[in-house]
Amino acid sequence: MELLLEAEIKGFPFSFKKNLLAQASEKTGMSIEERIKYKINGNPFPRLKNMINAILRNGTMSDEIQRLKEDMIAAALRAYRIGLQTGNGGNLSGRLPGTDKIIIKGSGFSFGECTLDNFVMVNMKGAVLEGGGKPSRELLTHLAIYGMRPDIHGIFHTHSPWSIAYGEDASEIPLLTDHSRAKLGPIPVIRVEGHGTEAVARVVEALLQEQPELGAFVQVKHGIFGLGKNIIQAEHNAELVEETAQIALLVSLRRAALHGKDKNDL
């Protein structure tokens, strides 16, 4: 049947195709008799065919949303399990490829409590499109990053202690390992206080304008922002920043003990 062409091409099972036609018929108000009559008269059913195409597109988008949320949950649980973030602090987000839609952790939930139902979908202007809760208060910072970096599809933010401690009086986290140099490159520390304010967003935009290839940065007194082509990579980058800061601080303490130097001599 011609009406099943799109579903046939995409390899959907018959039960799905039948349900697809039922949805389209209901939405267009066309009865089975009307469809048969149109078919006999040689009509291509443009109204019904367009509705089927729309349902197929929405179904594909729903699958992409679910996959992104599942990846976000996996990244959040990993970070919570290893102690990269404790309590209900931190946040993460992912951008749906080819759209202006961002999925971000809802406010008030810990990484260990993320589910498919407590994320919030927003657009690039910050308007809530889906989800019953409030988006993280860091939303403006996330949107600033996505606006400057179209290649970034995942952001992972944690209040990790080693990075905050090292960044207290440093302009960047030194790369003392081959791994950090190969995987991350520079880890600057931005010296602006506040959580997701317009001021923070402007500083972040200026940073990414100046260093457009960054894989992560640290905000003073606040924590790590790991960036990635997907949310899994973003979480891994955040982990590596914390490891790098821990090594740098331990090395500085050792040098201070042995040679009377502080970490600014690194």
pLDDT in tens, 207-249: 999 999 999 999 999 999 999 999 999 999 999 999 999 999 9
Distance (Å) of CA 180 to CA 149, 173, 201: 21, 10, 26
Per the listing, tokens 């990635």 go with: 228
Q: In which band, very low, low, confident or very high, does the pLDDT at 206 lie, cut at 50, 70 and 90? A: very high
Q: In which band, very low, low, confident or very high, does the pLDDT at 62 lie, cut at 50, 70 and 90? A: confident
Backbone phi, psi, residue 103, to 5°? -105, 125
Q: In which band, very low, low, confident or very high, does the pLDDT at 202 lie, cut at 50, 70 and 90? A: very high
Residue 13 burial class via C-beta count within 10 angstroms: exposed 0-12, middle 13-18, buried 19 and up: exposed
74 has a pLDDT exceeding 50: yes
What would the mean pLDDT of 31-58 be, rounded to a whole number?
52
Q: pLDDT digits over 140-169, tens only?
A: 999 999 999 999 999 999 999 999 999 999
Q: In which band, very low, low, confident or very high, does the pLDDT at 263 lie, cut at 50, 70 and 90? A: low
12 has a pLDDT exceeding 80: no
Q: pLDDT digits over 93-121, tens only?
A: 999 999 999 999 999 999 999 999 999 99
Q: CA nearest 67: which of 79, 55, 75, 57?
A: 75
Please provide the distance, in angstroms rounded to a whole number, between the alpha carbons at the two ends of the chain.
Answer: 73
Domains parsed from the chain with CATH numbers: 2-44 (no CATH), 67-265 (3.40.225.10)
Q: CA nearest 101: which of 61, 141, 132, 67?
A: 61
User: H helices of 83-220, where?
Assistant: 139-148, 161-167, 178-183, 198-210
